[in-house]
Structure 1
Amino acid sequence: MITLPVQAVQVLPHRNSMCCIDTLVACDENSATALVCLNDDFIFIEGKHLNPAAYIELAAQTAGAMMGFLAQAQGRSPLEGFLVGVQNFTIHHIASVNDILTIKVLINSVFEQITVLEFQIYKDNILCAEGNIKVYLPNTSQ
């Protein structure tokens, strides 16, 4: 049985430098929390700062880790989802090398094969970014 915390590579299809989150630390049917430490060789570091587009990828991978964890907990194969939309995306603080980020996602709604999640990304208690993502899950009947 898979238990928390779990390394992200155990619940995501992403490998090597494309796995952007380190650990899934909390997860239930509606929400998840992941952590990542931004080191010098993190794929989305430019100079010493996080590329703004990376916040969206961190949120999407946290959502994917949540879905993968829940699927494995039910004895199913993880679903392969696709990010299909971003709304209300705001950056409040730029993260830098050596920052540890906490990524939180919460399911807002599910319609057919589209799941809408809100996300917040924090460094310590500082809100770095927030918004909504839409994820397409083509195999929800598995």
Structure 2
Amino acid sequence: MKACPWPVASLLPHAGNMILLDAVDGYDADSLSAHAVIKPGPYSLPDGSLPPWLGMELMAQAVGAWAGCHAREAGTSVKLGFLLGTRRYESHANALPAGAALTIHVRRGLIDASGMSVFECELRAESRLLAHARLNVYQPKDPDEFTQEASPT
């Protein structure tokens, strides 16, 4: 894996505390590893932990960071992508504990010319597997055109 020279904020179309990743540890043509420390934020539970379903957002942001690394490397702009869903999200934790140092690993399994991709993802705290999923994502060639609402007639 190559080291990532860019800050996470320059790889994702997110801002402020909506960015859950702290850094990208490395990436290559098919995968990315990142880390995050669970901190208080808009999705925190009263004890400072995060609900287990937020693991899917951490995974989706790692996929977005993978696409962002490749865009930056190619000298193109970072584009908006969409999490379409998951074929299976399995959580092995009741919550993502406050202060926990997490590692997120994503590996591309399939990509087609239309921009549809499938990624195998894992979320770990040290060696403990907290969650895994297969995410279906879509990155249109022109996200602005894709997100435009038709004018009412």
TM-score, reference length from structure 2: 0.84
SS at match of 1:109: strand
Correspondence for 2:28: 28
Alpha-carbon shift at residue 5 of structure 1 (Å):
5.1
> Is the Cα–Cα contact under 8 Å of residues 90 and 130 in structure 1 kept in the other structure?
yes
Alpha-carbon distance in 1 for matches of 2:81, 2:46: 31
The reply on whether 1:71 has 2:68 as its aligned counterpart is no
Give the superposition deviation at 1:118. Answer: 0.8
Residue segments in structure 2 that go unaligned for 5+ positions in a row: 143-153
TM-superposition CA deviations, 1:10-42 (whole Å, max 9, x none): 211111011111101111110001111112x23
Shift of 1:80: 1.2
Residues 96-135 of structure 1 mapped to structure 2, 5 A cutoff: 96-111=97-112, 112-135=114-137
CA distance in 2, matches of 1:5, 1:96: 29
Across the two proteins, how many residue pairs are aligned to each other?
Answer: 137
Q: Secondary structure at the match of 1:50?
A: coil
- Preserved contact between residue 116 and residue 132 of structure 1 (Cα < 8 Å): yes
SS in 2 for 1:73: helix
Cα offset, 1:73, TM superposition: 0.5
The superposition leaves residues 32-83 of structure 1 with CA deviations (integer Å, 9 ceiling, x where unpaired) of 01111112x2333212322122111000000001100111111111121010
Note the aligned Cα RMSD (angstroms): 1.5
Show the counterpart of 2:37: 37
Q: For the pair shown, which has the larger CA radius of gyration, 1 or 2?
A: 2
* Paired amino acid for 1:89: Y
Instruction: Determine the C-alpha separation between the residues in 2 that align with 1:8 and 1:78.
Output: 11
Q: Distance in 2 between matches of 1:65 and 1:91?
A: 22
What percentage of residue pairs aligned between the two structures are identical?
27
What TM-score results when the alignment is normalised by the length of structure 1?
0.90
Tell me which residue corresponds to 1:90.
90
Instruction: Say whether the 8 Å CA contact 1:95–1:123 is kept in structure 2.
Output: no
| Greater strand proportion | 1
CA contact (8 A) 2:4 2:69 kept: no
Indicate the residue corresponding to 1:55 in structure 2: 55
| In structure 1, C-alpha distance between the alignment counterparts of 2:43 and 2:106, rounded to whole Å | 20
Deviates more, 1:6-15 or 1:66-75: 6-15
